[in-house]
């Protein structure tokens, strides 16, 4: 304990930055939860897919989707989500898991889909990077 106090005394700026970064991480999680509802981990998304036939929606640019995506995912880039309305409307009765690269832009797409009447839409926490880090398979074939 004395070493920790000595470290804090010698490096108050570093300790202050640790506090700021910690607060920002907590604020980001709270903001995402309030804005986009509950976010699923990759494991929870797989469970939802297996149990309730959830569908995945990849909102990254098409070039990123072609490099690798969740197997069976629909490509609907966030900037062109309105162009995919007909295809997405067919899935309105199923749970949707929306993901991007890191999990930052998916919640805004979730908001748009909820406003269009989708009842069960979730953002995937950590995006495709978390999916790959969990050791889950990806595909580069278009579905």
| Dist. CA 28–CA 83, nearest whole Å | 29
The pLDDT tens digits of the residues spanning 90-137 come to 999 999 999 999 988 898 899 899 999 998 999 999 999 999 999 999
The pLDDT tens digits of the residues spanning 62-89 come to 999 999 999 999 999 999 988 898 999 9
Name the strand (E) or helix (H) holding 97.
Answer: strand 96-99
- In this prediction, residue 36 has a pLDDT band, given cuts at 50, 70 and 90, of low
Helix/strand/coil for 139: strand
Whether the CA torsion 18, 102, 70, 107 is positive or negative: it is: positive
Nearest to 30 by CA among 107, 143, 115: 107
């Amino acid at each position: 304990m004395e070493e920790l106090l000595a470290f804090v005394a010698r490096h108050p700026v570093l300790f202050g930055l640790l506090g700021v970064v910690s607060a920002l991480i907590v604020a980001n999680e709270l903001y995402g939860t309030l804005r986009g509802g509950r976010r699923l981990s990759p494991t929870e998304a797989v469970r939802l897919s297996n149990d309730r036939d959830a569908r995945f929606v990849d909102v990254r640019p098409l070039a990123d989707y072609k490099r690798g995506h969740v197997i069976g995912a629909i490509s609907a880039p966030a900037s062109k989500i309105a162009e995919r309305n007909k295809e997405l409307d067919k899935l309105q009765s199923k749970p949707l898991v929306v993901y991007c690269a890191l999990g930052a832009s998916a919640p805004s797409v979730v908001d748009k889909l909820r406003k269009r009447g989708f009842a069960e839409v979730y953002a995937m926490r950590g995006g495709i990077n978390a999916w790959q880090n969990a050791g889950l398979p990806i595909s580069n074939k278009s579905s």
